[in-house]
């Protein structure tokens, strides 16, 4: 899988290297404690898929990037990092990518403040360069992400989630940031063009497929070492579970909801729920939906001439659904 990531990155290798330098600068602060924490964050970075989406979209449309593209990629990565730091506080999570999370090492109060600082830096980067169109894109994304999280929390209490509401949640919570990456890339090189909306849609479709893939991991659909049943323990209603609920008779429905509400810490019961969802075809249904989103995204790319950037984006879309973690 790492081989695929380096293949995706290949046509934008130079841009990614320069971006990393610029990104590090954009995170600096006068406060030593903050710099220590950001140093920790930067040294444990993930695959950096989001900036890759920004650069690949810009190069697909324009053949090259400009200063605005770097600004867009920095904004995205600052906001994404901020949201991860805050997510770990919200989820009370002690690990992130196998390392201790910020809140585990420096406590919640500092983690919240670090997240706030990164959010403000993301907005300031766009203001300092007077890229108000980019600021508009990211501000909408931040609003959607917060609303998506709150909608999920609200629905988890009631467990009255329909498939439509589930799509609304993942569209806002996950897909909106990937949509922002692609519209940011398009906007940086082709401001005020139709492509800004076209690629927002493309990114959204990728994000929807990405989140459904994540939901499938909860059922041990892949051998990835991630413990199964985490979403069930957290009372998160995911697509396989929603499908199984919709296919169940009254008795079974009652048992499922009761299991999630009152027995979600009981390992045996969680295992039974996972087995039942599989038996009802929940995984197959979710996979089919995920592939629909993937195919819609690829159909958008079909409208553009072949290039190494189009090939890399195609690889990226396929990687989203084929990845093992």
Closest by Cα among 70, 201, 56, 65 to 134:
70
If one looks up domain 1-322 in CATH, what number appears? 1.10.600.10
Per-residue model confidence as pLDDT tens digits over 71-117: 999 999 988 888 877 776 666 666 555 566 677 667 777 778 888 88
Spatial contact of 126 and 75, defined as CB atoms under 8 Å apart:
yes
What ranges do the domains of the chain cover? 1-322
- What pLDDT band is residue 1 in, cutting at 50, 70 and 90? low
Residues listed for the chain: 325
Which string of b and e fits 79-107 if b means at least 16 CB within 10 Å?
bbbbbbbbbbbeeeeeebeeeebbbbebe
Closest by Cα among 12, 315, 317, 50 to 180:
50
Residue 100 has φ and ψ, to the nearest 5°, of -65, 140
65: left (phi over 0), alpha (psi -120 to 50) or beta: beta
Dist CA 56 CA 65 (whole Å): 9
Selection from 123-132, 195-204, 237-246 with the highest mean pLDDT: 195-204
Q: Does the pLDDT value for residue 255 go beyond 80?
A: yes
| Residue 261, CA atoms < 13 Å, CB-side half-sphere | 11
Burial class (CB in 10 A: 0-12, 13-18, 19+), 9: buried
- What pLDDT band is residue 157 in, cutting at 50, 70 and 90? confident
Dist CA 59 CA 309 (whole Å): 6
Task: Kindly report the average pLDDT of the chain as a whole number.
Answer: 87
Share of residues in the chain with pLDDT > 90 (%):
54
The pTM of this model reads: 0.90
């Amino acid at each position: 899988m790492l081989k695929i990531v380096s293949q995706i990155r290949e046509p934008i290798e130079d841009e990614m290297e320069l971006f990393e330098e610029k990104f590090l600068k954009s995170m600096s602060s006068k406060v030593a404690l903050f710099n220590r924490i950001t140093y920790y964050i930067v040294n444990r970075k993930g695959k950096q898929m989001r900036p890759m989406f920004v650069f690949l979209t810009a190069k697909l449309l324009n053949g090259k990037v400009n200063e605005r593209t770097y600004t867009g990629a920095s904004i995205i990565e600052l906001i994404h990092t901020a949201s991860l730091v805050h997510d770990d506080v919200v989820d009370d999570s002690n690990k992130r990518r196998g390392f201790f999370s910020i809140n585990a090492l420096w406590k919640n109060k500092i983690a919240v403040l670090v997240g706030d600082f990164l959010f403000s830096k993301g907005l300031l980067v766009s203001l300092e360069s007077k890229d108000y169109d980019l600021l508009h894109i990211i501000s909408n994304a931040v609003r959607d992400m917060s609303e998506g999280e709150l909608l999920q929390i609200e629905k988890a209490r009631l467990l009255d989630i329909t498939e439509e509401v589930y799509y609304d949640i993942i569209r806002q919570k996950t897909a909106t940031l990937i949509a922002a990456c692609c519209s940011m890339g398009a906007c940086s090189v082709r401001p005020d063009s139709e492509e800004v909306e076209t690629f927002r849609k493309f990114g959204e479709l990728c994000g929807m497929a990405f989140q459904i893939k994540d939901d499938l991991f909860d059922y041990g659909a892949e051998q990835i070492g991630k413990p199964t049943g985490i979403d069930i323990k957290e009372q998160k209603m995911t697509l396989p579970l929603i499908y199984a609920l919709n296919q169940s008779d009254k008795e079974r429905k009652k048992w499922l909801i009761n299991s999630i509400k009152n027995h979600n810490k009981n390992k045996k019961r969680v295992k039974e729920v996972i087995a039942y969802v599989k038996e009802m075809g929940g995984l197959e249904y979710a996979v089919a939906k995920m592939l629909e989103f993937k195919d819609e995204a690829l159909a958008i790319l079909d409208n553009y001439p072949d290039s190494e950037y189009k090939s890399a984006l195609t690889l990226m879309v396929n990687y989203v659904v084929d990845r093992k973690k």
